[in-house]
Structure 1
Amino acid sequence: MNRMLIAAVALAIAGWSLPGSGFAAGKAVKLPAPTQDVHATAATETAVFAGGCFWGVQAVFQHTRGVLNAVSGYAGGDQGTARYEQVGSGRTGHAESVQVTYDPKQVSFGTLLQVYFSVAHDPTTLNRQGPDVGPQYRSAVFYRDQEQKRVTESYIAQLGAAKVFPARIVTEVRPLTGFYPAEAYHQDYATLHPGSPYIATFDRPKIANLKAMLPQLYREQPVLVSARPKG
């Protein structure tokens, strides 16, 4: 996964941020709750978020209360190119994404947006998160319907007006044309490889920030793809 540059990891471990890469590793921003939200009526709902390497985004949502499942995958391109080797070229239109299935009685779409913008990634870096560079690592919300689109655009405007970030939010808001689960070895990666230097540097701090900044939403035991019954 082009989890590139051992030097970049070493710099981050040492407490340095990469030039042009946005926040230093582990940086998060405390954000207000959205003033608008989706009025869900179904027993379960889904949302698709892209914010850099899907390992960390998946892990954050797996530790979020009310989330029933979080699957790493690809969105933004065609089904025929939804394979890691092709997506990594940056020429497929896909972004590494996470499809979140949640119980709207426990957590709302607006609250998931708050988690996404606050601790899951840096929404102010264009086609980049940490050491990972390319359009496949862009910030994007792939909306399933007009309600998700309306609430996402409203929240981005709300955060922009409040000037809570040091730079402009560059998150794309695009219709979801398809979500394609990633290869099995990408699922639950942060949980299965806690000792990986990449996970320790860039992803475990996101989970710690969720616990510290949004404790009412934090769940100690993640809900894992591998724990779901097959078939």
Structure 2
Amino acid sequence: MRFDIITLFPELFAPFLASGVTRRAYASGQVQVQLWNPRDYAEGMYRRVDDRPFGGGPGMVMLAEPLARCLAAIRAARHEEEGARAPVVLFSPIGKPLNQAQVEHWAASSGAILLCGRYEGIDQRFIDAHVDVQISLGDFVLSGGEIAAMALLDAVARLQPGVLHDAQSHECDSFSQALDGLLDCPHYTRPEAWAGRTVPAVLLSGHHAEIERWRRTQRLSLTARHRPDLIAAARAAGRLSAADEAVLAKNQQENAADLL
């Protein structure tokens, strides 16, 4: 798959693409990343890519024309045919929050063109004409879309075959379908005792069925406590068994007793 990134700061991506376990996806070409600076497509001596907003107000707005020329160059480089164009993705507060289901969708796609906004934003006419999808990382504001683009790339890259040491590692991640969309359970490693705290005995028992039951119980309990919306979604999708519901009912009773 191929991701073309439109950014005024391509230098931000160099250490990201060469670091961590996901670098394997970029080095192998499983996830191809091409960086494009719209300043290279601006006109005039100063290569301006922004201007003051009509109607007044603080900040600057990214110009539509350099972005349009940059996008045209990307589409030419991708040798796209009509009807098979890569979607243009803008990282924006009005987009749907990024979640694991979206990540899995992009991980199975052929890629996209990622547009990283800066300043007060992008001329709305370019957005109306060219942007297909808008994505948000959450209800907060970043200085630009580059961090959001890196978040999407990292989440997609780690799902590619051979990128993680254990091919099944990502299947046990929080929010994954293999965990029915629940949060993952706590994890422990050596030493068995640390700072007066010990590893749960069941994890040292070697009894795999009991260990899996403990992990499922922990996932249910943690999710119910911290993200009850995920429990509701799993229940609505028919992913919770009678045993799961018994665990949740017991937790609810214990929590109610603690409040008395």
The TM-score normalised by the length of structure 2 is 0.20
Computing the radius of gyration over CA atoms, which structure comes out larger, 1 or 2? Answer: 2
The TM-score normalised by the length of structure 1 is 0.22
